[in-house]
Amino acid sequence: MRLGRLLVVALAWGVALVQMGCSGCGDPPVTYSMPGSGVPGGRGDLCQDDADCPGGGCRSGVCQPEPASCTGNSCAEPSCTDGVQNGTETGVDCGGGSCPVCSMGATCGGNADCKSALLCLEGMCARCTESAQCAPGFECRAGGCEDDDFSPRVQLAFLPGSTVLRVRFSEPMRQDDSAASMLNPDNYCVELTDETPHECTPSDAFWLGSVLTVVDPSTVDIELPFAPGGGRYTVHVSGMVDRADNELGWPRQADFEVGGPLRLLSATSLGRNRVVLTFSRPLLPGPDVSGSAGCTSLATCTSRYRLTGSTSLGAVLSAKVLDRLSDNEVVLTHEGFQRGGQYTVLAANVEGGEGLQSVWGERLGASPLDRVTFTGFGPLVSTVEEGPVQVDPFSDGVASTSVVAYRGRVYVGPNANGTRAVGMDQDGVRPDDLAFRFRKDTQRLSGARSSNTVGAPFPSIGFAGCQENSYQCGPDNEDGRALFASGTLSGTEWLMVSGTRSGGGLDYVYMSRDDDATLDLKYVDLGQALDGTSARSFSALGFLGGRAYLGVPITGGTRRPELLALLRAPAETAEGLEARSNSTTVGGCNPSTHELCNLAAHRMPGIGAAGSPANPAHTVGIDFVGEFNDKLYLGNNGGLVRATVEEPLDYESSPSHWVSITPSAPEYRAKQSITTDTDLDLDPSDRAWSRMAVFNGHVYLGRNTTAGPQLWRCDPARVSGPAPASAQDCDAGDWVLVAANGQGDVQLTQFDNPHNTRLTLLAVSGGALYVGFDNAVDGVVVYRTAVDEPASRSDFTGQDWCVATTARCEGLGRNGFGQPRANTRLGEATTVAAGEYGFLYVPVSGGPGTPVRLYRQRD
């Protein structure tokens, strides 16, 4: 580890020190000021000798308090939380002349002297701040060294100098003369970025040298024999292992740009009140001069940096540019203490006038190049009652965002201008800031052609009010909220991004099998299936049984909901897919000749305006698509329908492939489903059927009626004939109302709270079923159950495991997750499994104008 890193670590250790003292023996406890308080010589401040630390001592260049002297059993054992003394226990043995201290901040001679997963760093017990401090076979996670059973991955690549390629991994890698070392040049390959992100054809324009230099245990510099030409490249890595011999996982590649703008690449916590930023090039150090990245005064730092996130971190107090080889890194010190949630750092960009500047004079690029995300220093946020994982995740006020599980990670986005997402591990650590590169359809072999007149690729899927025919909008001039979905198609897992065209004529979705920091997305031309429609957005996306299903709401005269089945993915080497399809009005779906099928949902009973019975709503869409026992389920305000075969064709040519399963129960017929007048920016509260979940062999559906919400369960064995009814599938007579009110309207599911107006969360995670409601008065309300077949309110629990029928039993994390005014509406949640745990991710907001918050519940 080089000197610059040691200094950074020493700065981080300073915040881990604690009050030390002994009740009834020796001197009374001494309280030391924290760094940044304005009191020189406070604990954690840098020092040269004891004279720099009034009331304490200088050890390893950091001010530390002295332990109190004592005799006998007269010491008090400090009780610690994150190293802060918060209570005592009397009658503790003196232990050799010095009273015991909190495990964090205690003096030590080795790791064995420190409690829990703490380390002995320079004679002091402290949390780790980077995996390089842990022994081989262990990784630093949430401040503790844990068994390293995680696959490393390529985190980023960039050119800090004209003839240096820097590659950073997610954790320390092997550094020896073996073939699996990160110092083996044969493990690297660079190519021009293409449509095959997991293969490498070495570029003649980019030559790798044989000299590799360790920057830090996770980062290597590759010397180049000459400066490469401009363009976009991908570095591929193979054959490498980390210090615990874990093989390289995905992504194994990273895109980088030669000659691109100065940008902020990453941020990493260095302790409770410090974070190191990595920029793409060396920075003007300053401090406090125009354009410099360094600052020493509160006023200057405030004009150059801002921190947002799950908790307030206060102002930035100082910023220091590190020495070479790390003159592209800046250490920020801030007022508040980090917790285990996520935070965003913003740096002054070229549009701000005082934008940060590289040593070569270029200014930091505009949003999103000026901001990055990092996980704070502390125990990870595991439950909704511990607070949000993210608040305003992109620092742009976006009020709604999509959350999806993709390739074992969680993706959140896009941001307000459609240019950025955040990816993270299942437990929320190792976040990556993700950019987009959307392809443009320049052909007209079938269907449509992208309407945006500027050249590809596009960095944005668009946003409301974007300038048409510019890079602000999407490739087809998409100009509204986007949705994410993920699943398997053509044997490969894909991420799907759908946009919005407020003026109608929606023709495209975009798909990526990429997984590095820049997601390259191929287009899928849906024009033949949507020809002549006024489609503006998507209301439902889902990957089921090796297909992708897309629901499209239609408003006005036709009122036809479109349901498309995408049968095949874009070819590996193609920029997109010109999907051949049956017509929107005539012609049957033929999987042997079609890549896309219009399933004629407008003719399905109750679902479409041309169905029997007909759907009378002004706007008719598909509220959800789900799967149970390999069959497709869907519904809207007009009822429910399921497929009778695993790969259904369109209703017009194959009506036997579909059957209505709208509940026949009297509680269903007594209420009228809600409808919506919009086909744009749909939220769960706009849908008659908000969500579908499968729990212990039963299907659960949340219904929203004009009177209030209902929770329905399908018991497949209740009806088993005549065909097409079966004991394995849901039919009209299989549905029962669950958790009905005990007072008020007993045909609704509100847990006796009339302010629970919409059922918007229904998910299964970690062996539990979660049910959540929008509530404008009390804040969102969420209950859970682990009962095999929940039937009544008493089968559900809320805060502190209270039974839902108990008086004043609030939902999980308390109503509104503790902030009832800010958290009134639930967004599209997702679940992801990680080993023995299940994680539920829930975006929450207070409606338009209120930044979204992301919560996590671990089971």
> pLDDT value at position 541?
96
pLDDT at 796 over 80: yes
Q: Please give the Cα distance from 759 to 705 (Å, whole number).
A: 10
Q: What is the DSSP string of 153-179?
A: -EEEEEEEETTEEEEEESS-B--SSST
Rounded average pLDDT over 306-319: 94
Q: Please give the Cα distance from 685 to 676 (Å, whole number).
A: 10
406 in Cβ contact with 813 (< 8 Å) = no
> pLDDT value at position 69?
55
Burial class (CB in 10 A: 0-12, 13-18, 19+), 506: buried
> pLDDT value at position 209?
82
SS3 content of the chain, % helix, strand, coil (to 5): 10, 35, 55
Per the model's pLDDT, the better-predicted residue between 117 and 399 turns out to be: 399
> pLDDT value at position 836?
80
pLDDT at 240 over 90: yes
Indicate the DSSP class of residue 50: G
pLDDT at 12 over 70: no
266: Cα separation from own chain's centroid: 15
Residue 581, helix vs strand vs coil: strand
The residue among 253, 282, 238 whose CA lies nearest residue 167 is 253
32 in Cβ contact with 63 (< 8 Å) = yes
Q: Please give the Cα distance from 406 to 217 (Å, whole number).
A: 28
Q: Please give the Cα distance from 615 to 688 (Å, whole number).
A: 13
Phi, psi angle pair for 800, to nearest 5°: 55, 30
Half-sphere exposure of 830 (CA within 13 A, CB side): 22
Q: Please give the Cα distance from 728 to 646 (Å, whole number).
A: 13
Helix (H) or strand (E) holding 304: helix 298-304
Q: Please give the Cα distance from 369 to 265 (Å, whole number).
A: 8
Q: What is the CA radius of gyration of the chain?
A: 29
pLDDT tens across 736-784, in order?
999 999 999 999 999 999 999 999 999 999 999 999 999 999 999 999 9
Sheet strands side by side (includes 658-660): 624-628, 631-636, 639-643, 658-660
**Stretch among 43-57, 384-398, 425-439, 837-851 having the lowest mean pLDDT:** 43-57
Residue environment code for 633-671, b if the CB has 16+ CB neighbours within 10 A, otherwise e: bbbbbbbbbbbbeebbbbbbebeebbbbbbbebebbeeb
Rounded average pLDDT over 129-139: 73
Strands 554-555 vs 547-552: parallel, antiparallel or unpaired: unpaired
434 in Cβ contact with 409 (< 8 Å) = no
> pLDDT value at position 377?
85
Q: In CATH terms, is domain 154-258 a member of 3.90.1150.10?
A: no
Average pLDDT, the chain: 85
Rounded average pLDDT over 68-84: 48
> End-to-end CA distance of the chain, in Å?
38
Instruction: Report the amino acid identity of residue 578.
Output: E
Across 526-665, the runs of DSSP E, i.e. the strands, are 540-544, 547-552, 554-555, 562-566, 576-578, 596-598, 619-620, 624-628, 631-636, 639-643, 658-660
> pLDDT value at position 49?
62
Q: In CATH terms, is domain 264-379 a member of 3.10.105.10?
A: no
Structure token pair of residue 830: 């997702």
pLDDT tens across 565-577, in order?
999 999 988 999 9
pLDDT tens across 24-54, in order?
222 222 222 223 223 344 444 444 567 666 6
pLDDT at 610 over 60: yes
Instruction: Report the amino acid identity of residue 111.
Output: N
Instruction: Considering the chain, tell me which residue range(s) the CATH 2.60.40.1220 domain(s) occupy.
Output: 154-258, 264-379
Q: Please give the Cα distance from 402 to 677 (Å, whole number).
A: 22
When pLDDT is cut at 50, 70 and 90, the band that residue 142 belongs to is low
> pLDDT value at position 225?
86
Phi, psi angle pair for 615, to nearest 5°: -85, 120
Q: pTM of the full predicted structure?
A: 0.84
> pLDDT value at position 378?
79
Per the model's pLDDT, the better-predicted residue between 134 and 641 turns out to be: 641
Report which listed range, 216-230, 361-375, 647-661, is most confident. Answer: 647-661
When pLDDT is cut at 50, 70 and 90, the band that residue 557 belongs to is low
pLDDT at 104 over 70: no
**Stretch among 112-126, 158-172, 312-326 having the lowest mean pLDDT:** 112-126
Contacts of 836 (CB under 8 A, 6+ apart): none
Contacts of 693 (CB under 8 A, 6+ apart): 699, 700, 762, 763, 764, 769
When pLDDT is cut at 50, 70 and 90, the band that residue 855 belongs to is very high
Q: Please give the Cα distance from 377 to 334 (Å, whole number).
A: 13
